């Protein structure tokens, strides 16, 4: 007979006799078992029963949910380093895309004939939009107010980069003409972008015109063939 069975038998005998006081040994043993045990609020019993059922019934669902949340968190961290959140626009290798838009000058400086400019380009097609930087050498024609420059330009956005040589001329009235062929990189590999702008030195916004072509610019003809 176990200790618990012995205790139950003594309590049953006591109830059968109909006494008015509890047996000392039973009370002492009950107190001994109670001391040191953590007492819970009655509400805990009501809450624990459905929680136990959930744990037993939905254990697999909880595991799947945790794995799914972990995967989503990993994707959220990886996406910004994967070249943008949108897929790159499809590049058609058989057609030419005309570009129009504007470019806003963010900052520019000139030190010892070296010109730097930062711009924001908003074009009719997102492939020709983005942030742009230029670095160029400037030459001034004394006495006539004309300037000419040759430099490099880099236009980038979330899918790729356009980069190449640009030439510009600035006239005495402050108007400016710029053009150049830019080679595509990343999603724009195998394409070229003819970029040109017109504007005024006193204006922060200039007009953009150009075209995205499949392949490289046409080859330069041999100058010796000129008559």
Q: What is the pLDDT of residue 143?
A: 84
**pLDDT given for residue 204 in this prediction:** 78
Structural domain includes residue 165: yes
Q: pLDDT by residue (tens digit) across 73-83?
A: 666 555 444 44
Residue 75 shares a structural domain with residue 140 = no
- Residue 4 to residue 144: CA distance in whole angstroms: 114
Residue 201: predicted pLDDT: 75
Whether 190 and 128 map to the same domain: the answer is yes
User: For residues 87 and 79, is the Cβ–Cβ distance under 8 A?
Assistant: no
How far, in Å, are 55, 67, 73, 74, 75 from residue 61 at the CA level?
10, 10, 18, 20, 21
Provide the pLDDT for residue 205.
87
Chain centre to alpha carbon of residue 50? 42
Count of structural domains, the chain? 2
Low-confidence ranges of the chain (pLDDT < 50): 79-84
Which residue(s) pair with 201 in the sheet? none
Residues 184, 119: one domain? Answer: yes
Rounded Cα distance between 82 and 84, Å, is 6
Three-class secondary structure assignment of 147-215: EEEEEEEEEECCCEEEEEEEEEEECCCCEEEEEEEEEEEECCCCEEEEEEEEEECCCCEEEEEEEEEEC
CATH number at residue 208: 2.40.350.10
Q: What is the pLDDT of residue 137?
A: 95
Structural domain contains residue 102: yes
Same domain, 111 and 202: yes
Domain that holds residue 42: 3-79
Q: What does the pLDDT look like over 97-131, one tens digit per residue? A: 999 999 999 999 989 989 999 999 999 999 999 99
62 and 102 housed in the same domain: no
Instruction: Check whether residue 44 and residue 72 sit in a common domain.
Output: yes
Instruction: Output the pLDDT for position 98.
Output: 97
Residue 227 maps to a domain = no
Q: Do 66 and 146 lie in a common domain?
A: no
Closest to 191 measured CA to CA, from 170, 211, 171, 215: 215
Could you tell me if 127 and 188 are in contact, meaning their C-beta atoms sit under 8 angstroms apart?
yes
């Amino acid at each position: 007979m176990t200790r618990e069975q012995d205790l139950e038998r003594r309590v049953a005998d006591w109830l059968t006799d109909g006494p008015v006081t509890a047996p000392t040994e039973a009370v002492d043993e009950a107190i001994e078992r109670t001391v040191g045990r953590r007492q819970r609020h009655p509400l805990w019993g009501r809450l624990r029963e459905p929680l136990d059922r959930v744990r037993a019934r939905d254990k697999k669902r909880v595991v799947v949910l945790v794995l799914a949340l972990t995967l989503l968190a990993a994707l959220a961290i990886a996406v910004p380093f994967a070249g943008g959140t949108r897929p790159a626009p499809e590049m058609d290798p058989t057609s030419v895309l005309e570009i129009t838009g504007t470019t806003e000058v963010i900052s520019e400086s000139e030190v010892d004939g070296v010109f730097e400019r930062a711009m924001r380009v908003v074009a009719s097609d997102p492939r020709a939009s983005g942030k742009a930087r230029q670095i160029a050498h400037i030459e001034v024609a004394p006495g006539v107010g004309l300037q000419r420059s040759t430099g490099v330009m880099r236009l980038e956005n979330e899918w790729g980069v356009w980069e190449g040589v640009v030439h510009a001329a600035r006239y005495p009235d402050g108007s400016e003409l710029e053009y150049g062929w830019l080679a595509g990189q990343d999603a724009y590999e195998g394409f070229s972008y003819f970029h040109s702008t017109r504007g005024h030195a006193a204006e922060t916004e200039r007009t953009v015109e150009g075209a995205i072509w499949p392949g490289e610019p046409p080859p330069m003809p041999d100058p010796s063939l000129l008559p």
